[in-house]
Amino acid sequence: MDIASIIQGYAQGYFLMADESGKLGWYTSHQRTLIPLDDRFRYPKSLRRVLNQKRFTVAINRDFQAVCEGCANRETTWISPELMKIYFALYQAGWAYSFETWQGDCLAGGILGIVIRGAFIGESMFYRIPEGSKVAMVKLVEHLRERGFVLFDAQLQNPHLERFGSYLVSDKEYQILLLKALARQCKFG
């Protein structure tokens, strides 16, 4: 697959995933999970204390490879070795990013995503140090707001994302938001 085709697929609302056998394919969903970039975004009060303690610093692409590996390192994963190569090629071409939290010289957590104009398409997240990925989520939302992003697509709903105010939209609503996001020129890095 070439990079232009991959970006075109994401820009049309599809996303790449590997199945249980590792075979890579394009997927879409009747409903998409979005992370709000407005006042609907929320997080647990206990996390507010962690943020106030300033235990973590944030970085973009300080260790993209380690974030990919962290996201793929779980019992069941949709991030196959082939998909990791694609993410790395997208990163080298300026489309994929890792938004990271660090505690000193230790990578605490991170979020892997693809940026197309005003859309951040979250692929996965992980943590090595408790609260690392949660702090990354809060700081990433702040980062996207500051830069005028329209869409933070988290793809599939789960209880962890619900704690941040994630919500479902129909594919039709998603396509409308995606078009608005693609019409806005935003810089991520």
Q: Is 97 helix (H, G, I), strand (E, B) or coil?
A: strand
Per-residue model confidence (pLDDT) at position 155? 87
32-51 pLDDT tens trace: 999 999 999 999 888 999 99
133-159 pLDDT tens trace: 999 999 999 999 999 999 999 988 888
* Residues 71, 84: Cα–Cα separation, whole Å: 10
For residue 171, give both structure tokens. Answer: 């594919």
Statement: residue 172 has pLDDT above 90: yes
For 13, residues 6+ apart whose C-beta sits below 8 A from its C-beta are 28, 32, 171, 174, 175, 178
The answer to whether the Cα torsion of 12, 92, 123, 152 is positive or negative is negative
For residue 168, give both structure tokens. Answer: 């479902």
* Residues 152, 159: Cα–Cα separation, whole Å: 17
Domains of the chain and any CATH numbers: 3-183 (3.40.630.70)
Rounded to an integer, the average pLDDT of 49-69 is 96
Q: What does residue 35 show for φ and ψ, rounded to 5 degrees?
A: -95, 125
Whether this model's pTM surpasses 0.85: yes
Confidence tier at 1 by pLDDT (50, 70, 90): low
8-33 pLDDT tens trace: 999 999 999 998 888 999 999 899 99
Per-residue model confidence (pLDDT) at position 159? 82
Rounded to an integer, the average pLDDT of 71-79 is 86
Per-residue model confidence (pLDDT) at position 46? 87
